[in-house]
Each structure stands twice: as structure tokens, then as C-alpha cells.
Structure 1
Amino acid sequence: MVARRDLTTDPGLQEALLQARRGTAFFARKLNELSDDELDGDSLLAGWTRRHLTAHVGYNARAIARLVEWAATGVETPMYSSPSARNQEIDFGATLSPIALRNLFDHSAVHLNVEWRDLPDEKWSNQVKTAQGRTVPVSETVWMRTREVWLHAVDLNNGASFSDIPATILERLLADIAGAWKTRGTDTGLIVHVEENDARYGDVSNPDAVEVSGSLIAITTWAAGRGTIASASAAPAWI
């Protein structure tokens, strides 16, 4: 029997799902503000139009849904068959008619939402593998999608900014970025300071490190490569 509401009873997971759905709704609103002709315009991602970005977000929902199906059935269903297949999919999606492209986003979002909704509590800890090869509990897919829709709503280059993103999501995104820098060793000599909560990330034990300081919004915008901070160099790459 198909559930009418989330089968999970975990309050933390329910809150995480709510943030993912709010992000999806925000992306949908920014997308719907664009005319069909404006879909041909540039996104904030180099080399991608808004068409490419919308196709990517749509196909990403399908890919994440495959991970949830994997957790539900135990049958391995990878996000993508290969990195090249992912790229080809996006390039193809960018050629769709405007109505087909919008339908891709809408229908894939509904599909993912249903997969999440119908997954019972005991399945959420099942392990799946991301496109980057990380093995994670399927509950991690909620954050994967949350980050995707909120960040790419800004990338639509249609007036959204990091000030539209909830602070709790910005905090986790910044922690993800700092973690990626740490793994790659690209935070050497760099400290990032968030003024509101006095949090520091990076090479914090280095007394000679350069400190980049600002609000949570400003720091996360800069760290994600979507903005600048006066007197600071460009942030290290994180993806």
C-alpha cells in the first residue's frame, strides 16, 4: 500500500526532508519565474546555460531516487552508469523543449519525494554508494538533494542569493566545503572565520595563516565560489 505521508517517524529525518522539500519548492519558484526564452541564458556555472542546470537538477533527482530504490529493495541501482553517461544525459536534457525540460524537473522531484515518503524507518540506515564512490546510509541522500536544490537555485542566475538559504543549511554547507578543503590539503595557510558564532575552519593551528572573516552568508557565498570578499583571494575549489 502506498503511503500518504512519510513512513519515517524520526523527527530529525522528518525535519531534514522538510528542508529538502522547501529547497525544491524554492528552485521551482525561481525556475517558473523564467520565461522559456530566458532558459537559454547563462547560469552562474561556467559553460552551462539555465537549460543545462535545470536538466542537471532534474536528472539528479532521478539518480538519487535510484539510491533510495536500492535501499528499499536491496538491488544495487547506481546513480549513474558512468561519469560520461551523466554528462551526456545533461547535454541531452539541455536540448529538450521548454515544456519538456520543466516537466523533467517537476516529475523527477515528485518521483524522488515518493521514494523518500514510502521508505520505512528500518530501511533508512541501509548503505548505498554515491557517484563519487562514498558508501553512506541512504538517509544521506536527503542532505545531498537539499544542498543541490538550494545551491542551484542561486546558480539559476535569477535573483536568488545565499541570503535566501536557511542558516542551518549554510552552516552545514560551509562545514562540507571546509571538510573538502581539509581532505585535499587546500586549506593550508587559510582560516575561515564566521563572525556570528565565532566558528573557525581551516588551518586553525597555524599562527601565520591568513584569516578570511565575514558573516555566515558572505563566507559561505565566497567559500562556495559564488562571490568575493574584499581583500581575499578566490576560495579553493571544493567540488
Structure 2
Amino acid sequence: MTVPPADALRWMRQGQRIFDATAARLDATACAAPSLLPDWTRGHVLAHVAANADALLNLARWASTGTETPMYASPEERAAGIAQGGLLPAARLADWQARSAGVLDTTLAGLTDEQWRHEVRTAQGRTVPATEIPWLRAREVMVHAVDLDLGTAFTDLPADFLAALDAEVSARRGPDLPPVTGPLADRVAWLTGRPHRRDRLSRPDGTPAPDLGPWL
């Protein structure tokens, strides 16, 4: 699936504002509370989003310099960074997240048209043009704002972003994905394996939508 670069950049910045506004509700107690993701506190989600900006910054620098710079040194390093980062005080997590997001945005804004076309490699091993970096970030900040479980829901996310995410996740889930209809926000919550209103989704035969594992 190809997302128009201008839309992706707009969603990245809009999603960052949504994530920042949601994370601003955190204090030390709330940071240690469970998120919507299994085994992750809200602090782990904040650490993951901050580390994701740092990792995507590596790709932006790769596109800028032509020097290969992987997102993460290894999957183990990525997991350890999230586990350790989730234990940081709320104020330090907030500072890390804001700083990393700001540097990523500034670096992307400085890429030339030619650098935007340079190919980089995602953590999943996909080779993509640098124009995909904003979409990767938009997904992270939008969906994880919901995962913080602090009042932001899929219904608060832009409808055009949800439509693009619906198309991507449906394609990634593959041909075995059952046909399910319902409101877009509920469908995207279901597709990404997040809590959703079961009574709003249904299959053609009227049976409830089956549970799906977490995506992203």
C-alpha cells in the first residue's frame, strides 16, 4: 500500500499532537498503571514511542547521508530499551519523547527531494523509500495514543488516517481475514487487535467478529 507522502507527513504531525496531549495527562502513578497492551505499563508505551522516534531518525539520517543506519542494532536491544525505559520517571519519559519527536520532525523537514527518494530498510526488513518514514511514525503515535488508555479513542483519530490504516492492516492480515463490517473506528480497533465494541461489528452471517492478535 502506498500512502501519499503529504498525507503521511500531515498525519505524523497531527498524531504527534494527539499523542502529546494524551501523554500530558500522565503522572508518576498513571505512568506505572497498565496500558491497553499486554504486559506493558503506560511508561512502556511512552518509552516505545520515544525510542521509535530515535529509530526512525536513524532512517532519516540514512536517507540524508547515504550511510546505512539501521533502526535498531538488534531486536534484543530494542526490547531491552523499552523494558528499561518504561521504568524511568514520568518526567524523564516525557522529555525523551518530546525531544526525540522534535529532532525527527526537524530532520525530515530538511530532506531534499532526492533524499526523500533514497531507500532505507525498516525493522521488519522491508526496503522502502524515505517517503514512508512519516507514515511509519503516524501509525505509532496515533495508535499508541489510544494504547495509553487515558481517554483518547480511535474515534478521536482522523477519518482519512483510519481509512488508510484499515487498508494497510487488512492487506497485511492477508486473505484469511474474515469479512467484517461496522463503523470505521471500531473496525480499525478490531483489525489492530485493540478493545472494541463487539456489538458494532458483524460478519455477513451476523456472527460476531473473531478476536485478532495485536498488530503494531
Aligned to 1:234: 211
Query: How many aligned positions are there?
Result: 204
* Aligned equivalents of 1:82, 1:40: Cα separation in 2: 26
1:30 to 12, 22, 28: 22
Give the C-alpha shift of residue 238 in structure 1: 4.2
Segments of 5+ residues of structure 1 without an aligned counterpart are 1-11, 192-211
1:72-221 correspondence to structure 2 within 5 Å: 72-182=64-174, 185-187=175-177, 190-191=178-179, 212-221=180-189
Counterpart of 1:61 in structure 2 is 53
Larger Rg: 1
Measure, in 1, the Cα distance between the counterparts of 2:212 and 2:77: 30
Q: What RMSD over aligned residues (CA atoms) do the two structures have, in Å?
A: 1.4
1:122 to partner: Cα distance? 1.4
Query: Aligned letter for 2:187?
Result: I
Q: Which runs of 4+ in 1 moved over 6 A?
A: none
Give the number of the structure whose residues are more often helix, by fraction: 2
**Over residues 190-219 of structure 1, what are the superposed CA-to-partner deviations in whole Å (9 max), with x where a residue is unaligned?**
21xxxxxxxxxxxxxxxxxxxx22111121
Over 3 Å counting, the alpha-carbon distance change for 1:52 and 1:14 in structure 2 is: same
Structure-2 change in CA distance of 1:176 and 1:14 (3 Å)? closer
> Larger strand proportion, structure 1 or 2?
1
Counterpart residue type for residue 233 of structure 1: P
| Counterparts of 2:89 and 2:15, CA distance in 1 | 24
User: Which residue is equivalent to 1:225?
Assistant: 193
Q: Shift of residue 15 of structure 1?
A: 3.9
Once the 2 structures are TM-superposed, how far is the Cα of residue 112 of structure 1 from its aligned partner?
A: 0.3
State the shift of 1:223 in Å.
1.4
Deviation at 1:237, TM superposition (A): 5.3
- Give unmatched runs, 5+ long, in structure 2: 200-207
The structure whose RCO (Cα within 8 Å, separation 6+) is larger is: 2
- The normalised TM-score by structure 1 is 0.82
Report the 3-state secondary structure (helix = DSSP H, G, I; strand = E; otherwise coil) of the residue aligned with 2:198.
Answer: coil
SS in 2 for 1:136: strand
Kept in 2, the 8 Å contact 1:61–1:109? The answer is yes
SS at match of 2:141: helix
1:16 is displaced (CA, Å) by 2.6
Counterpart amino acid of residue 186 in structure 1: D
Give aligned-pair identity as a percent. Answer: 39
Q: Distance in 2 between matches of 1:15 and 1:218?
A: 22
